[in-house]
Amino acid sequence: MNVFIIGTGLIGGSFALDIQEQYPEAKIFGIDQNSDHLKEAKELGVIHEAVTFDALSDADIVFVAIPVNATLSVLTNVLDAVHDNAVVIDVGSTKQDICEIVKEHPKRRNFLASHPIAGTEFSGPKAAMKGLYQQKTNIICEVEKTAFKLQERALELFSKIGMRIRYMDPISHDKHIAYVSHLSHISSFMLGKTVIEKEKNERDIFDMAGSGFESTVRLAKSSPAMWAPIFEQNKTNVIETLEEYIGNLQKFKELMQENNFQAIYEEMENTNHIKNILNGIR
């Protein structure tokens, strides 16, 4: 089985490592515009061989694990290049634009739109890890448009590396993920920005930072090259979530100004219910 990984960083590289473990006979080929990443991925054993797009005709499975704007640029060319029994899987954080761009492609049946809800704040081949996808949810969109035998191949692979499958249409996916992922990243980036700007005048501020601050700004270490295109493609939904979030912040500020700390307590107590929700889905 020839598996091609386009984008040899955290997401693509972690798929490569898990596939090697579950399919020892698989040969892993890497494609990446960053030659240093390709060299590093091979040295680390993430891939077996570095190749170019010209080799895609030999692929049985292709993972497209690059920023979503780059996926829009290359996906149709990838489908053009693969043979009729190959499955091409994208793993981007937005789905509507990606599904739209391939809807009339002659090889639409070879494409599976997926979004593994997994990752860390780190990037590059060194960030790749075995077991990243264990017990993680993988959202698949428009599965009915993928050839059944190719669905089976992809779903078997996802099952072997420990993923749970959830099906959703692209519009719903992009709307929901704006709340539970994209907004979290914006909040983290902006909290980090606020504190960095304050630190310019108060040099001791980071000495006072505890684990709560560190965990809250963890996502601010994520790659802007990946996240700026995500915000662009999901602009409408992200703006909607920001308006609601800013509204809640404004309300909190007003309660503070009014010295209404009982209402603040109740707001926080009601929000504590999120513990039960999260415990119920893990």
Q: Enumerate the domain spans of the chain.
A: 2-169, 173-280
- The rounded average pLDDT for each run of 10 residues, N- to C-terminus, in the chain (282 residues) is 97 97 97 95 96 97 96 97 98 96 97 93 91 96 97 97 96 95 92 80 64 78 90 96 95 96 92 75 55
- The rounded distance, in Å, linking the Cα atoms of 105 and 237 is 27
Other C-beta atoms closer than 10 Å to the C-beta of 203 total 8
* pTM score of the predicted model: 0.86
- The rounded distance, in Å, linking the Cα atoms of 183 and 94 is 13
**What is the enclosing helix (H) or strand (E) of 14?**
helix 10-22
DSSP state of 138: E
Closest to 56 (Cα-Cα) out of 48, 68, 64: 64
> Helix (H, G, I), strand (E, B), or coil: what is residue 12?
helix
pLDDT of residue 210: 66
pLDDT of residue 278: 65
Contact 16, 3 (CB under 8 A): yes
- For residue 209, CA distances in Å to 122, 191, 204, 215, 226 come to 21, 13, 9, 10, 27
**What is the enclosing helix (H) or strand (E) of 63?**
strand 61-64
Extended beta strands in 143-216, E state: 164-168
- CATH node for 2-169: 3.40.50.720
- CATH node for 173-280: 1.10.3660.10
Contact 217, 195 (CB under 8 A): yes
